[in-house]
Amino acid sequence: MCSYITEKASIFGSAKGRDGWMRVDTAVIYYDHPVHVPLDHALNIDFVDSRSKARVAVELSADSARELVRRIQAALDSGDAIHLGSGEADPQQLARTM
Amino acid sequence: MTYRDITCEVVQFTGHNGEQGEAYYARPAGPGPFPGVVLIHHIPGWNEFCIEAARKLAHHGFATICNNLYFRMGDGDPDDIGARARAEGGVSDEQMLGDVAGAMAFLRAQSNANGKVGVIGFCSGGRQTYLSACRLPDVNAAVDCWGGRVIADPAALNAKQPVSPIDYTKDLNCPLLGLFGNDDKEPAPAQVDKTEAILKDLGKTYEFHRYDGAGHAFFDWSRPSYRPEQAVDGWKRVIDFFNHNLG
C-alpha cells in the first residue's frame, strides 16, 4: 500500500486516551500498514481531536472491521427504534458548545 | 569492512526552504574517509525500524543520516506523528526532495566524508528514493526497497505528489538497486517489470532482485512480513552495492 490515501469523517463524540477523556471531532480511516497489530495490512481508525492533535488509535483486521460495521449498524438500528423521539439533545447543537 | 565502534546521535540539519529539522546520524568511528547514505524512512514515520537500519549501515562503514520527514508536524511518538502526517496527506515531493538534499549536504560537510552519498528508502521511502535519484543532481547510488507507486495511477496524483516518479526516469543519473518481493501487491511484479523495461529502454544502470516467498517490507523484523532468509540476502546486496558505488 504505502499510500497516504485516507477517508475522513467529521464526528461528534468523546474518546478515552492516554490522558483521560477528550473530545474527538475527526475520524481518519485507512487500510494500510498498522503499527501494532501483527498484520501486514489493517483497517486503521484514528479518532482525533483536531485542536490538541491527540488521538485514540484502533487497528483491526479487515474481517473484524467489516463485522464491526455490521454490529454498529445493528446497534444503531435497534437503538433508534427504542430511543427515537425521546427528547435527547441535538448532537449538532452540542458540538457547537464543546 | 565492519565497524563495531559507531556513534549515534540526533543532529540538526537544514532542510527544504532552509528549515531546521532533526535527523538521526549514525556513523562509524575513525578518521575515514567514509561514504555517506541518506536513509528515507517509511510512511509510519521516523521509527525504530529505520533508526536500526541506519545503525546497520553505520556498522558496515557508511555514515548514515535518517532525517525526520515529519519534523514540521511537532513532537510526539513516531506513530502519532506518522498518523498526523497521513491525515494531512503526507509530505509533498518538493519538500521531501529539499530535505533529502539538505541531509546529503550535511553528510558531505563532515570532515571525514569521502564525498560520495547514496540514498536508500523502504516502502514509501523507496518511491521517494527513486524520485531523489532522478531529481537531485548529486546522488551517487540509490536503493529502492519495494517502493510502491513509482508508476502511479493518474487518479492518485495530487498537489503534493503531482508527477508519477517513473516519468522522471530519463533524468536518473546514478546506479539503481531495486529489491522486491514477488508476493507484493504494491509494487506488484508486473509494475516492477514495467519499471525495469523503462530503465532498460533508457539505458540506465540498474539491478533488480526479486524474491520468491516474500511480499512487502520483508526486511522489517517487527512485522509478520519479515522474511529472514530473503532479508539477509537483500541486506548483503545493499551493502555490496553501496561499497561498489560509494567506496
pLDDT digits (tens, 9 = 90+) for B35-53: 999 999 998 899 999 999 9
- The reply to whether B121 touches chain A by the CB within 8 Å rule is no
pLDDT of A2 above 70: no
Tell me which CATH code domain B6-246 carries.
Answer: 3.40.50.1820
User: Which helix (H) or strand (E) segment is B180 a member of?
Assistant: strand B176-181
Q: What is the ipTM of this complex?
A: 0.73
Cα separation, B180 vs B177, whole angstroms: 10
**Which residues in B lie closer than 8 A to residue A26 (C-beta atoms)?**
87
Instruction: Kindly indicate the confidence band of residue A6, based on its pLDDT and cuts at 50, 70 and 90.
Output: confident
Minimum-distance CB partner of A6 among B86, B123, B148: B86
Cα separation, A78 vs A97, whole angstroms: 28
pLDDT of A1 above 60: no
- The reply to whether A55 touches chain B by the CB within 8 Å rule is yes
Q: Considering only CA atoms, which of A1, A38, A39 is closest in space to residue B184?
A: A1
- The reply to whether A30 touches chain B by the CB within 8 Å rule is yes
pLDDT of residue B162: 96
Which residue has cell 501483527? Answer: A38
pLDDT of residue A37: 94
Pairing label, strands B113-122, B141-145: parallel
pLDDT of residue A89: 67
pLDDT digits (tens, 9 = 90+) for A38-78: 998 999 999 999 999 999 999 999 999 999 999 999 999 98
**Which residues in A lie closer than 8 A to residue B79 (C-beta atoms)?**
35, 57
pLDDT of residue A88: 67
Exposure string of B142-157, with b = 16+ CB inside 10 Å and e = fewer, is bbbbbbbbbbbeeeee
Domain spans, chain B: 6-246
Q: Print pLDDT tens along chain B (247 aa).
A: 899 999 999 999 999 999 999 999 999 999 999 999 999 999 889 999 999 999 999 999 999 999 999 999 998 999 999 999 989 889 999 999 999 999 999 999 999 999 999 999 999 999 999 999 999 999 999 999 999 999 999 988 999 999 999 999 999 999 999 999 999 999 999 999 999 999 999 999 999 999 999 999 999 998 899 999 999 999 999 999 999 999 9
Residues in chain B: 247
pLDDT of residue B91: 95
Which residue has cell 483486521? Answer: A61
Active site residue B123: yes
pLDDT digits (tens, 9 = 90+) for B147-186: 999 999 998 899 999 999 999 999 999 999 999 999 999 9
**Which residues in B lie closer than 8 A to residue A58 (C-beta atoms)?**
none
